[in-house]
Amino acid sequence: MVLDGENNDGDRDYESYVPTNTFDDLTVPIDADYIFQSLNCSVCCQCATHQILNSRGSSIYIQGGAYTTCTTVANAATFTISGSQTVNVYTTSANCTARTTPAVITYLAAATDANGKCLITLNSSLALIDR
C-alpha cells in the first residue's frame, strides 16, 4: 500500500497523522448503538427482531413465538418478536392460562415500524405504535 498523503480520493486507504496546518482530517469516535439506531430499517433492511415495550400501565401476559408458556411482561418492560412469529397478549394471568380473549401481535404488524428503529410500543389499548 502506497500512502498518498490525503483521504479524499476514495482509495479506502485512511491516513492519520498528528494534526498540522496542511493535514486536518478530524475523526470522532461514534458509538455502535448510535449507528444502529440511525439505521432506517424500513428502507435498508428488514428488522430481524422487533422490541416491543409494554406501556399499558400494568403487566401483560404473553404466549406464542419464543414464549412457550404464559410469560409476564411488567409495565415498562420489553419483549421481542421475530421472523414469522405470532404472540398472544392477555391482560390477566387467568386469561393467559385459559387462552381466552387474546390480542394478537404478529411480526408483520410489528414491522409497520415507521422510523426504522425496530422499536415498538404496546399502548394502554393494546395497539402497536412506533417509538
Q: What is the pLDDT of residues 107-121, one digit of tens each?
A: 877 767 778 788 999
Residue 56 is predicted with a pLDDT of 94
* Beta-sheet strand order (sheet of 60-64): 67-73, 60-64, 86-90, 103-106
Half-sphere exposure of residue 104: CA atoms within 13 angstroms, side-chain side: 8
pTM score, whole prediction? 0.63
pLDDT at 26: 59
pLDDT of residue 67: 95
What is the rounded CA–CA span in Å between residue 99 and residue 89?
10
Q: In what order do the strands lie in the sheet with 128-130?
A: 78-82, 49-54, 119-122, 128-130
Task: Mark the ranges of the chain whose per-residue pLDDT is less than 50.
Answer: 43-45
